[in-house]
Structure 1
Amino acid sequence: MESSTHGRLQELAQFLRARRARVTPEQAGLTFSGRRRTPGLRRGEVALLAGISVDWYTWLEQARNIQVSTQVLDSIARALQLDANERNHLFMLALQQLPADLTPAEGEITRTLQSFLDQQGTSPAYVSDQRLTIVAWNRSASLIYGKYEEMTPRERNSVWRTFTSPYVRRMLQSHWESHARHRLAQFRACYGKFVGDPWWTELIEDLSRASAEFRAWWPQHDVLNGPEGLKINHHPTAGRLVFEQISFSVMDQPHLTVTINIPSTDDDTVAKLQKFLVEGTAVTP
């Protein structure tokens, strides 16, 4: 066994033992009586909670070079009550790759992150999840792009909106196709983590029925990550708006992506937005 593999498996074994010692039977929902020689859960209890054999789990704690599936690792992560960072660490040690992120509850963002969005002022800013559904936004984004607060989760999905909303087509005009292809390629890249998941399957089927462009482009398998850069919108009230787009992941919530559309300084976008934010009301998309 290579020294790097041996070291990784030893680290995995130590990590599992440390996390097992941290969880009490009471926290795991188990009942017990009498004194225990070791803190936390026993190996057999972790195996029971994870639905795997005691031998299999024991081999992991013995740093044996065995093949484990993502389903087994997810079961162990739940049994040991690992948080998102610990779960990622477990997958990196066991498989040398990150897991597909668990889909969080709808609208799950921190007050600090919402405050950050609100402080962006004339820069429309929003947070999207790994499904490319917008889960948080600031007032500028709501006024420019539509009343997110009145939309259903499906309507706030940026892929669904791109291909089905007449408002989005009017806003983007001649730039719609490049935007739509870019958004679809992002969606395809995200879908790679969730192939076969019912939510994704249903959306793809619905989009295929709703949009001829989606039907034609989806089989091309274009894949892309990253922001769009220059973005030109034609708002029905504020007029032509030019933005530079930047996106980044949230450190403690890596399933979320923050996108900020920064008004261009090369034209009068800032002045238009300042006036619109004072006087304007959101249009219904």
Structure 2
Amino acid sequence: MTTMAQESDVRRHELAGFLRSRRERITPEQVGLPRGRRRRTPGLRREEVAQLSAVGVTWYTWLEQARDIQVSPQVLDAIARALLLDSSERSHLFALAGAADPAPGTPCPTVTPGLRLMLEQLEPIPACIQNSRYDILAHNRTYGRLLCDLDALPPEDRNCMVLAFSNEDWRAAVVDLAASNRMMAAKFRASMAEHLAEPAWKALLARLESSQEFREVWARHEVVGQGGKTKYIDNAHVGLLHLEHNNLWLGPTAGPRLVTYVPLDAVSRERLEKLQALASAGV
């Protein structure tokens, strides 16, 4: 058996055991089902989970038996809801299944209350927390108005790569857009090397490839490591900003990071303070 096949087998058995343990801890009353008088199974029966998830009983049984079957993110989402999984359990379920979570609004366990407080206290310095896939997991108000109105976008669109190649407000704010996007694509390729088989990364790449500009840049096969640099951003509300872009890693370098944009002159500092006031006022 190859290493990849062994890993797949281990994942299936871990998934099966996890599903059984979550099913057995839930009472019928918790999900609005009658207990009945002849219940011997602790928690829910398999057919009850199948019923709540709107999937076939045989199919769900195979899943708990670690059979080698394909499972879609939508079905995993339904099972997660039926089993009343919390955010950490839900993330674990999708990780074991090797699937991308179709509910991007699910709270991210990476962003703790302490990190959110830190983002607020960094004002007026624009700051956000990103993962290695460039998803914006959290941001402060100034960052939310730095390049576009992030709060007006659905969570699934809050990704720097997607915005850089498709959002007109973001693109208008970036000075020397072509060079910036080429650099971002090179960093993204370097980050993706460790995640080539992961569904979430493949789905993002497929979405980006709808852009002709991205396809042309991607075809260069350039790679660049992560690092800080100075940037000019032409903000729609306060004008030109001269900023230093920095990354502070919150774990391994392939994991989440705190991204900040520190003003490099007094004018940029004053303009960021004005941007913060505008953001606070809801402008």
Instruction: Flag whether TM exceeds 0.5 (same fold).
Output: yes
Unmatched segments (≥5 aa) in structure 2: 193-199
Q: Which residue of 2 aligns with 1:245?
A: 246
Where does residue 262 of structure 2 map in the other structure? 263
Segment of structure 1 superposing worse, 177-186 or 155-164: 155-164
Secondary structure of 2:41's counterpart equals: coil
CA 1:163–1:28 in structure 2 vs 1: closer, same or farther (change >3 Å)?
A: closer
Q: CA–CA distance in 1 between the matches of 2:64 and 2:25?
A: 15
* Residues in 1 aligned to 2:269 and 2:100: alpha-carbon distance in whole angstroms: 43
- Map of 1:37 onto structure 2: 40
Separation in 1 of the partners of 2:49 and 2:178?
52
Equivalent AA in structure 2 for residue 233 of structure 1: Y
Higher-Rg structure is: 1
Offset, 1:156: 7.5
Match of 1:118 in 2: 120
Q: What SS does the corresponding residue of 1:243 show, helix, strand or coil? A: strand
* Deviation of the 1:124 alpha carbon: 1.4
Structure 2 CA distance for aligned equivalents of residues 27 and 226 of structure 1: 49
2:196 corresponds to which residue? none
Give the AA of the match of 1:120: L
Match of 1:153 in 2: 153
State the Cα distance separating 1:231 from its structure 2 match. Answer: 3.5
How do residues 48-127 of structure 1 correspond to structure 2 at under 5 angstroms?
Answer: 48-63=51-66, 65-70=67-72, 71-93=74-96, 95=97, 97-104=98-105, 112-121=114-123, 123-127=125-129
Does the 8 Å CA contact 2:164/2:181 hold for their aligned counterparts? no
Tell me the equivalent position of 2:181: 180
- Is the contact made by 1:243 and 1:263 (CA closer than 8 Å) also made in structure 2? yes
Deviation at 1:48, TM superposition (A): 1.9
DSSP 3-state at the match of 1:27: helix
Q: CA RMSD in A?
A: 5.0
Structure-1 separation of matches of 2:163 and 2:95: 33
Give the TM-score of the pair, scaled to structure 1: 0.61
- How many percent of aligned residue pairs carry the same amino acid? 30
- 1:144-200: per-residue Cα shift (whole Å, max 9, x none)? x26848x6327977545765647854x543x3212234557859x86732699xxx6
Amino acid at match of 2:203: K
Query: Residue in 2 aligned with 1:211?
Result: none
Q: TM-score, normalised by structure 2?
A: 0.62
Residue 117 of structure 1 deviates from its aligned partner by: 0.8
Residue in 2 that maps onto 1:233: 232
Q: Does 1:217 align with 2:213?
A: yes
User: Corresponding residue for 2:202?
Assistant: 192
SS of match in other structure, 1:37: coil
Kindly tell me: are residues 168 and 57 of structure 1, through their superposed partners in 2, closer, same or farther at Cα, counting changes over 3 Å? closer
Alpha-carbon spacing, 1:3–1:260, altered in 2? closer, same or farther (3 Å): closer
The Cα of 1:41 is off from its aligned counterpart by 0.1
